[in-house]
Amino acid sequence: MSPRDELELQGLFMPDLDVSALVARIRQAGVPEEQIHVLSPLPLSNRASDRIGGVPLYGITVAAGLVGIGVGVFFAAGTAVMYPLMTGGKPIVSAPIVGIISYETMMLLAIVMTFLAMVVRVKSTNAKIHSRDTRIDEGRIAVAVRVPIIGPSVDAVRNIMEQAGVLDIRSSLIPSCQPSSREAVRQAASLLMPFILAGVLANCSQDMQDQPSYQRQEAPRLHSPLGSVPQKSRGVRPLLTEATRTEARAGAGIFKVNCVHCHGTQGEGDGPIAPFLRERPANLTSDEVRTMSVETIYRIVTEGKDMMPSFQGELSAEERIEVARFVTSLPRPSFAQHRSEGDR
Amino acid sequence: MTEEKKPYRWGMVIDLDRCTGCEACVVACHAENNIRISGQDEASQGRAVNWIRIERYWEGTYPNVSAKFMPVLCQHCGNAPCEPVCPVYASYHTPDGLNAQVYNRCIGVRYCGNNCPYIARQFNWFDPHWDPPLQEQLNPDVTVRQNGIMEKCTFCVQRIRKAKEQAESEGRRVRDGDVVPACVQSCPTSALVFGDRNDPDSQVSAMARNDRGFRLLESLGTDPAITYLKRLS
Amino acid sequence: MRESAWNEMPAINRDLLAPLSEITRPYLVFVAVLTAVVAVGAGVWVYQIETGIGQTNMHPPVFWSAYIASFVYWIGVSHSGTFISGVLRLTKAEWRRPVTRIAELMTIISVMIAGLCVFFHLGRVWRWYYLLPYPNQREIWPDFRSPLMWDATAVFTYATASAIYLYLPLIPDFALARDHVRGWRQRLYAILCLGWKGSQQEWETLNTAIRIITPLIVMVMVSVHSIVGWDFGMSLVPGWHTSIIAPYFVVGAVHSGLGMVAVGLYVVRRTYRLESYIRPEHFDKLGKLLIVTTLTLAYLYFADQLTVWYGKRPDEMAILHSLVTGPYAVPFWTMIVLIYVCPLALLTLPSFRTWPAGMLLLGIGINIGMYVERVLIIVPPLTHPRLTYQWSEYFPAWTELIILTGAFALAVLMYALLAKFVPLISIWEEKEGRLHVAS
């Protein structure tokens, strides 16, 4: 308790109290007006004036409204001018649209700033009052007076209140150094935190990044797509005419379906997808391949080699032997193009 | 403005006298633009996606019935009602005169679909699905749209873009006939003609000047880029 | 006389704070049922997001349907609070006092549910933030030429303003509750009442703020539903493109809002035994307002349809025919009966107006009728486009119905939960009213 501490005397009165007379008498006793507060459960007068010190509330409303119009003009006209995109033959900036948006933003800012100004005012007003006698809610009026604890004011005020017919006087000590309350900031933060988190965690979707279509930058398919061509080993029996039956058994048909896209129709390594591959497919008519036995070729077809994939599972063993036999029978390339039966 | 720098204004003429209603254009558009397979259930709900459709109306009573049909697609209106109502600029007008749809920007509000007087716009109600290996035939030049996105005829903008790049690399303008959208390409009777309406010598400009020419729902003031030629027979 | 008004205050405190602490078994069952319905609705919504908007019955040309109708309906209901609070405060009508808080709560909840309905409707709802105007790396802003962006701005303004307008008169009541209600809520009241002490300067500040914001919020209210109407009016769809749509929507909103307030008044009065606060005279005054809105709405609707009927433009006549005698005849005539005929016939009888249960039934009927009316504004014009090849039909799918029922249950649930936190009748205004009556 220090000499600069203050005492708040809160006197409870019946509602028929002559408030202005009491306040006048307390002021005569030397208490400044801003340290006298009349507390009531409802407004005692209908006067809603704006003589509450500082900038009147109306001023804030008008100023915020004007700023709001500016914000609206920025959104409706400014963003359109920054990134002009023609839509529907309408002008890039048009007055009715700017008007509508500005109207709404004007109202928004006017209302919000008025509200915030009110909150600031209310909080700064009631910070000066230490406590509130809850009995005023039952139909009483309280007069709170703040006086320095040292001096004649305490007793003077008490006397005035008792003369006016006070029901009860409560006093509370107000130390001169008050801890600043960071409580409000912490509470505000805790209320806002869920929204901030929600905003941060809003997922970044990757719609349409993976396209089902076959893009140019993707690696070429080395096998025919499943179901696109009939394969004996997969249980799909194609309609075989006599000619094709011979062909199929001779391995030429298997070669045409599974090998031509890389190795070319003549087996020279010039199939249609060869330009897209890192390594050129082997030229099956070259001397190197000609010297290979059927077993070697069968093993290469079964296990794969370098970039060439393995055909185990794609083709049955019987089919792989047949195609290996066919490869060994590939003719040496001649000047005139040699066309095998059924080759288009 | 020099001849080189004059902007293009893509347009189309549809000769209704030549149109037989064969719907080759519909099929070609599906193939070129990766249009999803709707299936029987969705088609019966009215959700079959067609960027170009043949509208068929019956006139008269039996036995004097005649079928009137015409291909309807996005008209690429100059004053497109679908463009300003999109809240996210997913639909806008290119300097070329195309009504562009930006798939990535669309959030599926569907105001544009309502506002098109020709009901030319389609919406992806579900994700598209192709049973393998059908997805192998999709056009890599055209984005496959997922669910929640509006789509419509683009005048095969991928082909326009290719022709323009080719022309630019050769230092010339796009010639009449360089750009052939899929529907125009596949029409067996050449009922559809496409070209640059800013070029007075192009086939499109010449045909559009025909006396038989009219535009669909012209009184709405949408300024469509497609001129129809009235059927004579 | 004045003393009696002051002496009533303890009783008023007790009566109006009692609902905050009263947790009965029927209440818990009610909340549990509503939570279950909301959970089912949420589950179906997640299913719709995962698989696509195709779960609804929409198809070209019907791109908008039940979700947008619900959005319009809920924005309409939200006008209840602003109208009763705002306009009746401006006119200094004393009978508004027990009604304002109930109506304002309805407003803020309805606006939130309306926003939710927009999310139901979006095709790619996970990209909803494209609608927010903020600087971003995409180098593009939303298109303010679109009536939907006007909508977004207006509804945001309205939601913020309604929240503020609900909160302002609540501050003294929160102070009262802080002093009388124990438990975990007390901490919340202590924060929310801004340290309210009840000094005259605080009262004057509060009243000034309320008096400034009241006309502003009434102006916002008129603009919001006009802009929602312009979502339709700006389009070229026959039947939508009519200049009367903005005033029609505003009056329709107030009409359905007042009906919902009648329902709310009856339920609160009955549940919390507040018969001495919400008296038949309040229903009577509400009924008179409802007559005004019914007549105005009927006049606007008739004016619109008369021009359609006389002008005989084929695109608009097709829609009128489908409504009056076509596939939409049953909902159309039901709507006419519920929102025009019944109110006019019943509310002109003073004895009906002072019958709370009757007003409840009428309010429910008006709201059902207005909901149907919203759907009938949207669907028949869309199913009858100018190119007749695309004419079709529409009826909501089960997914839409479940999601919208979930949204409705969420509204009621939020109201029921807020009733345990917010005094349902504005206590200090009620006390003020008693004082004004006495003096």
- Could you give the domains of chain B? 10-229 (3.30.70.20)
A289 assigned to some structural domain: yes
Give bridge partners of residue A36 from the DSSP assignment.
Answer: A145
> Rounded distance, CA C405 to CA C411, Å?
10
Chain B residue with CA closest to A92: the answer is B84
> Rounded distance, CA A287 to CA A295, Å?
17
Do residues A168 and A274 both lie within one domain? no
| Contact (CB, 8 A) for A83 and C139 | yes
Do residues A28 and A172 both lie within one domain? yes
A159 assigned to some structural domain: yes
pLDDT tens-digit map of A261-308: 889 888 888 888 888 888 888 898 888 888 888 888 988 988 888 888
> Rounded distance, CA B30 to CA B22, Å?
15
Overall size of chain A counted in residues: 344
Overall size of chain B counted in residues: 233
Scored b (16 or more CB within 10 A) or e, A270-299 reads ebeebeebeeebbbbbeeebeebeeeebbe
Do residues A12 and A145 both lie within one domain? yes
Using a CB-CB cut-off of 8 Å, the residues of chain A touching C219 are 107
| Interface residue A208 vs chain C (CB under 8 A) | no
| Contact at CB, A213 and B139, closer than 8 angstroms | yes
A213 assigned to some structural domain: no
Q: Give the angle subtended at the CA of C171 by the CAs of C170 and C172, to the nearest 5°.
A: 95
Q: For B93, which of A86, A214, A225 is closest by C-beta distance? A: A86
Chain C residue with CA closest to B147: the answer is C52
- Residue of B216, B190, B215 lying closest to B203 (CA atoms): B190
| Interface residue B144 vs chain A (CB under 8 A) | yes
> Rounded distance, CA C126 to CA B60, Å?
50
Distance from CA of C206 to the nearest CA of A (A): 7
> C168: exposed, middle or buried (C-beta count within 10 Å: 0-12, 13-18, 19+)?
buried
Do residues A70 and A152 both lie within one domain? yes
| Interface residue A83 vs chain C (CB under 8 A) | yes
The predicted pLDDT at position B33 comes to 96
Do residues A236 and A322 both lie within one domain? yes
Give bridge partners of residue A221 from the DSSP assignment.
Answer: none
Using a CB-CB cut-off of 8 Å, the residues of chain B touching C142 are 87-89
Q: Which domain holds residue A164?
A: 6-177
Residue A190 Cα distances to C175, C191, C421, angstroms: 21, 12, 19
- Residue of C183, C194, C178 lying closest to A183 (CA atoms): C194
| Interface residue B145 vs chain A (CB under 8 A) | yes
The predicted pLDDT at position A49 comes to 46
Do residues A236 and A308 both lie within one domain? yes
| Interface residue A228 vs chain B (CB under 8 A) | yes
A142 assigned to some structural domain: yes
pLDDT tens-digit map of A238-254: 555 665 556 556 688 88
Asked casually if ipTM beats, i.e. exceeds, 0.90, the reply is yes
> Rounded distance, CA B13 to CA B224, Å?
11
A187 assigned to some structural domain: no
**CB-facing half-sphere around the CA of A28: CA atoms within 13 A:** 8
Q: For B106, which of C58, C124, C234 is closest by C-beta distance? A: C124
DSSP letter, residue B145 = P
| Contact at CB, A87 and B139, closer than 8 angstroms | no
Do residues A239 and A146 both lie within one domain? no
How many residue pairs bridge chain B and chain C with CB atoms within 8 Å of each other?
Answer: 133
User: Model pTM?
Assistant: 0.87
> Rounded distance, CA C95 to CA B70, Å?
64
Give bridge partners of residue A169 from the DSSP assignment.
Answer: A11
> Rounded distance, CA B81 to CA A113, Å?
38
| Contact at CB, B93 and A226, closer than 8 angstroms | no
Residue C216 Cα distances to A101, C167, C210, angstroms: 15, 16, 10
Neighbour tally for C196: CB within 10 Å? 26
Neighbour tally for C222: CB within 10 Å? 18
Q: What is the CATH number of the domain that holds A275?
A: 1.10.760.10
How many residue pairs bridge chain A and chain B with CB atoms within 8 Å of each other?
Answer: 69
Q: Which of A159, A177, A195 lies at the terminal end of a domain, its last residue?
A: A177
A277 assigned to some structural domain: yes
Tokens 């990209």 belong to residue: C127
A33 assigned to some structural domain: yes
To which H or E segment does residue B104 belong? none
Do residues A41 and A165 both lie within one domain? yes
Residue C173 Cα distances to C11, C161, C197, angstroms: 15, 19, 11
Do residues A142 and A286 both lie within one domain? no
The DSSP string of A86-142 is --TT--SS-HHHHHHHHHHHHHHHHHHHHHHHHHHHHHHHHTT-----GGGGGT-EE
A271 assigned to some structural domain: yes
Q: With pLDDT > 90 as the criterion, what percentage of chain B qualifies? A: 85
Do residues A40 and A161 both lie within one domain? yes
Tokens 């398919």 belong to residue: A221
- Domain count within chain A: 2
Do residues A158 and A54 both lie within one domain? yes
| Contact at CB, C53 and B149, closer than 8 angstroms | no
Residue C336 Cα distances to B79, C307, C344, angstroms: 38, 18, 11
Using a CB-CB cut-off of 8 Å, the residues of chain A touching B128 are 212
Neighbour tally for C341: CB within 10 Å? 14
Do residues A264 and A155 both lie within one domain? no
Per-residue pLDDT of chain C (439 residues; tens, 9 = 90+): 577 888 888 888 888 888 888 889 999 999 999 999 999 999 999 999 999 999 999 999 999 999 999 999 999 999 988 898 899 999 989 899 999 999 999 999 999 999 999 999 999 999 999 999 988 888 899 999 999 999 999 999 999 999 999 999 999 999 999 888 888 888 889 889 888 988 888 998 899 899 999 999 999 999 999 999 999 999 999 999 999 999 999 999 999 999 999 999 999 999 998 998 999 999 999 999 999 999 999 999 999 999 999 999 999 999 999 999 999 999 999 999 999 999 999 999 999 999 999 999 999 999 999 999 999 999 999 999 999 998 999 999 999 999 999 999 999 999 999 999 999 999 999 998 888 887 7
Q: For A205, which of C3, C7, C126 is closest by C-beta distance? A: C126
Tokens 């669309």 belong to residue: B106
Q: Using CB atoms and an 8 Å cut-off, which of residues 57-86 of chain B contact chain C?
A: 57, 72, 81, 84-86
| Contact (CB, 8 A) for A22 and A160 | yes
| Contact (CB, 8 A) for C221 and C82 | yes
